Amino acid sequence: MAEADGGSRPNSAKSKESQREQAQKVDELADIIRTYRGLDEAEENHKDLPWYESPKFDIVMCSIILVNVMVIGLEMDLAEDKKGYDRAPVWICLEWLFALIFMGEVAIKVHGGYFSVRSVVSRGDSSILGSSVEHGSLEGRC
């Protein structure tokens, strides 16, 4: 009988160890489920948004901003020391193009979301554009 007990103890220890491992796996899976719970609901919520408030529109506008940053950097590196409208016409036209795109974004968001939080943010963007016009960086010809 003693041999039977001695033989069952290692099996008992192995089963407890496997139970601990299974419990750890279950805990890890539970953490994963808690982390990603509601992701499908969040993705479905984007379907209810108008196109101008969708993440795709925001990504497009952020991409345009990044291109604008690169154009400004290139202009600073490649342009001569000329200022205002003494610069090359390509830089002036690009500046106007980006300004029109950003004003269009503001107009779309303000018109579509009339007094929503997003339109307040857009009005902040328009105040930046307005200050550019006041300082003369956007005045003149293209």
pLDDT in tens, 48-97: 778 888 888 899 999 999 999 999 999 888 877 777 778 889 989 999 99
Distance CA 52, CA 60 (A): 10
Residue 113: what pLDDT? 60
Quote the pTM value. 0.49
Q: What is the mean pLDDT of residues 98-103?
A: 95
For position 141, what pLDDT does the model report? 44
> Can you tell me the mean pLDDT for 19-36?
84
CA dist 93 and 125 (Å) reads 20
Rounded to 5°, angle at Cα 132 from 115 and 103: 40
- What gap in Å lies between CA 26 and CA 61, rounded to an integer? 43
What's the pLDDT at 16? Answer: 82
CA dihedral 105, 110, 111, 116 (to 10 degrees): 130
* Residue 124, pLDDT score: 55
Higher pLDDT, 85 or 133: 85
